């Protein structure tokens, strides 16, 4: 019987072969957003899924982002609509085993080129109590988010700041996964999956974190690389506790995301990690905050 180490190595080798094939098919195009990275694999019923954002090969002038956008526009046609099986039961909201200090201090160091000019938020005396309500308005429908400062005060502080600064306005959702990992990923003004706000901040995770329908979490490209990209889980999400959960999606918002998922995607992230740009365009025309 194979050991856990042998299974991990086998998964790693399989993953490397998949990424090599993808690299040959699309020269400068790398997996963006919720993707698979070698060295951190999760095997759940034979499924290897890892969530990350890309930024390692973007040039300072954004030439790679432009190339990616062009490839998406003239690339693979929209995949046929699929029979998407979406769970109807929400998961229990996350809660910390131990409360955080209140107030707390957050650090937002500079990180890469800003996709949209915005100052870093103030990290002093950040509250770790209470909630904030954010509504993402789009032509596809409104998605309401309930942000929990007790879960992730620095994340909520940044998200509210970006929303109030207009960073998310006119920003779309560049990827949806409908099989295995069912989530809608948004928050990159470039639409390529490479963009961020020009600063980063630390993870606010804990070992008991799980993901499922109704969960709102941050995407990242490794430990402590949070920026502006986030994902909204509408179904299954077999992920390790490496992604900061900072709130939930309201019922009406989940219904909007369900319809977006049922319309399918263009398959631009297939075969690994799967998914693609939503066939239903999702661009936030306005983002309102009730803090």
Distance between CA atoms of 128 and 162, rounded to whole angstroms? 18
Q: Which has more confidence, 59 or 188?
A: 188
Indicate if the pLDDT at residue 146 is higher than 50.
yes
Tokens coding 58: 């973007």
Distance between CA atoms of 286 and 291, rounded to whole angstroms? 16
Strand arrangement, sheet containing 245-249: 173-177, 183-186, 230-233, 215-218, 245-249, 143-148, 131-138, 284-290
- Summarize pLDDT for 198-248 with one digit per residue, the tens: 999 999 999 999 999 999 999 999 999 999 999 999 999 999 999 999 999
* pLDDT computed for residue 204 by the predictor: 98
Indicate if the pLDDT at residue 196 is higher than 60.
yes
Indicate if the pLDDT at residue 18 is higher than 60.
no
Residue 15: φ, ψ to 5°: -65, -40
CATH class of 4-79+91-290: mainly beta
Residue 23: φ, ψ to 5°: -65, -40
- Summarize pLDDT for 67-82 with one digit per residue, the tens: 333 333 323 334 445 6
Indicate if the pLDDT at residue 129 is higher than 60.
yes
pLDDT band at 10 (very low <50, low <70, confident <90, very high): low
* pLDDT computed for residue 37 by the predictor: 36
* pLDDT computed for residue 7 by the predictor: 53
- Indicate the domain borders of the chain: 4-79+91-290
pLDDT band at 8 (very low <50, low <70, confident <90, very high): low
* pLDDT computed for residue 274 by the predictor: 73
Question: Which of these ranges, 56-65, 114-123, 282-291, has the smallest mean pLDDT?
Answer: 56-65
Tokens coding 135: 């509504």
Q: Which has more confidence, 179 or 52?
A: 179
pLDDT band at 270 (very low <50, low <70, confident <90, very high): confident
Angle, vertex CA 35, rays to CA 117 and CA 215, nearest 5: 75
| Average pLDDT taken over every residue of the chain | 81
Query: What is the gyration radius of the CA atoms in the chain, in angstroms?
Result: 18
């Amino acid at each position: 019987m194979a050991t856990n180490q042998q299974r991990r190595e086998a998964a790693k080798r399989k993953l490397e072969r998949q990424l090599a094939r993808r690299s040959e098919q699309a020269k400068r195009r790398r997996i963006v957003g919720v993707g698979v990275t070698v060295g951190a694999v999760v095997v759940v019923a034979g499924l290897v899924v890892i969530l990350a954002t890309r930024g390692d090969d973007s040039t300072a002038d954004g030439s790679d982002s432009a190339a990616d956008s062009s490839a998406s526009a003239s690339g693979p046609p929209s995949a046929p609509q699929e029979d998407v099986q979406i769970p109807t039961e929400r998961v229990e909201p996350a809660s910390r085993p131990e409360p955080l200090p209140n107030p707390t201090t957050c650090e937002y160091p500079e990180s890469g080129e800003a996709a949209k000019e915005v100052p870093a938020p103030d990290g002093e005396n950040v509250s770790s109590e209470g909630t904030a309500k954010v509504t993402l308005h789009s032509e596809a429908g409104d998605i309401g988010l309930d942000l929990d400062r007790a879960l992730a005060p620095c994340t909520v502080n940044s998200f509210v700041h970006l929303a109030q600064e207009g960073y998310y306005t006119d920003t779309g959702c560049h990827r949806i996964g409908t099989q295995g990992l069912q989530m809608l990923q948004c928050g990159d003004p470039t639409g390529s999956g490479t963009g961020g706000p020009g600063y980063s901040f630390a993870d606010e995770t804990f070992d008991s974190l799980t993901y499922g329908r109704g969960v709102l979490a941050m995407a990242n490209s490794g430990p402590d690389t949070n920026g502006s990209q986030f994902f909204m889980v509408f179904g299954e999400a077999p992920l390790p506790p490496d992604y900061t959960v900072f709130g939930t999606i309201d019922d009406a918002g989940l219904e909007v995301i369900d319809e977006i998922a049922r319309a399918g995607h263009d398959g631009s992230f297939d075969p690994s990690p799967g998914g693609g740009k939503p066939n239903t365009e999702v661009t936030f025309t306005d983002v309102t905050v009730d803090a």
